[in-house]
Amino acid sequence: MSYNHQHLLGISGLTTDEIFFLLETSQKFVEISERSVKKVPALRGKTIVNLFLEPSTRTRTSFEIAGKRLSADVINISGSSSSTTKGETLIDTVLNIKSMRPDVIVLRHAYSGSCELLKKLVPNTRIINAGDGLHEHPTQALLDALTIKQELGTLKDLTVTLVGDALRSRVARSNILLHKTLGNKVRVVAPPTIAHSHFEDLGVEVFYDLKKALPGSDVVMSLRMKHEYQKDYYVPNLDEYAVNFLLTESIISKYCPSAKILAPGPINRGTEITSELADGPRSLIFKQVTNGVAVRMAVLFLLVAGKNDYSPSEEEV
């Protein structure tokens, strides 16, 4: 198996084999962050540009740590998507960065499809999509999958249930694409303003009642109800949302007692999930974050080093 793409723009387009190869490679990088000297020389002398044109602390930090643990030089550029510096277009910004000879550009951007645009207009540049609008966030879906695989031992024959605002979630979208590719069942449960019937076009089962959606779930993924989006009247208010959709230990233990809980974070405690559940034994939330560094190390390595086989366990700085 191998990963022979120049980019990682989304889960869309990846084969089952490629997904498994990415996860297996990621698993190899997990142990590096547990070492006393948590660093390998794999990308020494390589330049990674983190171009984050939408606010992000967690994902930027994860990619930065991943790059540095591979011994790469990491350059952070932050800004906003709507008004890039001095009115320059995204394409010119990337053309300029490309001229400084980075080995890969990690892009976070508020506009859906911005990474695809760059793939067409700025060829010969390696791009990793770190979240583009409402479109995709592939490394998040991969780190979720790696975490599930570690805990459940398999990524086959699963039922994955997404709770909350799947409509405006690139994390939901990438997860749906990943699990449908792997042949798993995916459910979305949320108020009807969010859980539209057109999720069914993606092969997803739609529910409006948590008690009906949870039974049989192996994994329950709590999605963010972004405060700013609720002004669009998708839900009357977040307190009412919580009355019907708040994930608690008692509801999980009643309806799907063996389920594991994931959340891409940041979590709104008391709105989406209780602290008892988020901090309890079935929660994999912080394990996801740990795996995020490993997944990003693997993706950076595969794209930049141009090698598909690597044994980090044999290397140290």
Report the residue from 11, 19, 90, 97 that binds its own copies according to the rule CB under 8 A.
97
Q: For the window 217-256, what string marks contact with its own copies as x by the rule CB under 8 A? A: -------x-xx-----------------------------
Choose between 102 and 191: whose C-beta lies nearer to its own copies: 102
Does residue number 289 form part of the binding site for its own copies (CB under 8 A)? yes
Helix (H) or strand (E) holding 18: helix 16-30
Q: How far apart are CA 134 and CA 159, in angstroms?
A: 23
In this structure, what token pair is assigned to residue 152?
A: 């459940």
Does residue number 307 form part of the binding site for its own copies (CB under 8 A)? no
CB atoms within 10 A of CB 71: 16
Smallest distance from its own copies to CB 33, Å: 4
Q: How far apart are CA 317 and CA 313, in angstroms?
A: 11
Does residue number 99 form part of the binding site for its own copies (CB under 8 A)? yes
Q: How far apart are CA 80 and CA 169, in angstroms?
A: 19
Kindly compute the dihedral angle of the four CA atoms of residues 105, 89, 226, 209, in this order, to the nearest 10 degrees.
-80
Q: Judged by CB under 8 A, which stretch of 71-79, 161-169, 177-185, 248-256 contacts its own copies? A: 71-79
| Parallel, antiparallel or unpaired: strands 159-163 and 104-109 | unpaired
The amino acid occupying position 17 is D
Hey, which residues between 28 and 47 contact its own copies (CB under 8 A)? 33-39, 44-47
Per the document, the length of the chain is 317
Q: Judged by CB under 8 A, which stretch of 75-83, 109-117, 157-165, 188-196 contacts its own copies? A: 75-83
The beta-strand segments (E) located in the chain are 47-52, 73-78, 104-109, 127-132, 159-163, 185-189, 205-207, 219-222, 260-262
Choose between 62 and 159: whose C-beta lies nearer to its own copies: 62
Choose between 127 and 267: whose C-beta lies nearer to its own copies: 267
Residue where the block lists tokens 């709105």: 271
Does residue number 64 form part of the binding site for its own copies (CB under 8 A)? yes
Partner residues linked to 186 by β-bridges = 160
Does residue number 98 form part of the binding site for its own copies (CB under 8 A)? yes
Using the Cα atoms of residue 242, residue 248, residue 250 and residue 256 in order, give the sign of their dihedral: positive
Report the residue from 5, 58, 212, 307 that binds its own copies according to the rule CB under 8 A.
58
Choose between 138 and 292: whose C-beta lies nearer to its own copies: 292
Does residue number 73 form part of the binding site for its own copies (CB under 8 A)? yes
Does residue number 286 form part of the binding site for its own copies (CB under 8 A)? yes
φ, ψ dihedrals at 49, nearest 5°: -105, 120
Q: How far apart are CA 227 and CA 276, in angstroms?
A: 22
Does residue number 119 form part of the binding site for its own copies (CB under 8 A)? no
Choose between 201 and 309: whose C-beta lies nearer to its own copies: 309
Q: What angle do CA 132, 75, 111 make, to 5 degrees?
A: 15
The amino acid occupying position 29 is F
Q: For the window 185-204, what string marks contact with its own copies as x by the rule CB under 8 A? A: --------------------
Report the residue from 6, 61, 81, 230 that binds its own copies according to the rule CB under 8 A.
61
Binding site for its own copies (CB under 8 A): 33-39, 44-47, 49, 55-58, 61-62, 64-65, 68-69, 73, 75, 77, 79, 85-89, 92-93, 95-102, 224, 226-227, 265-269, 286-290, 292-293, 316-317
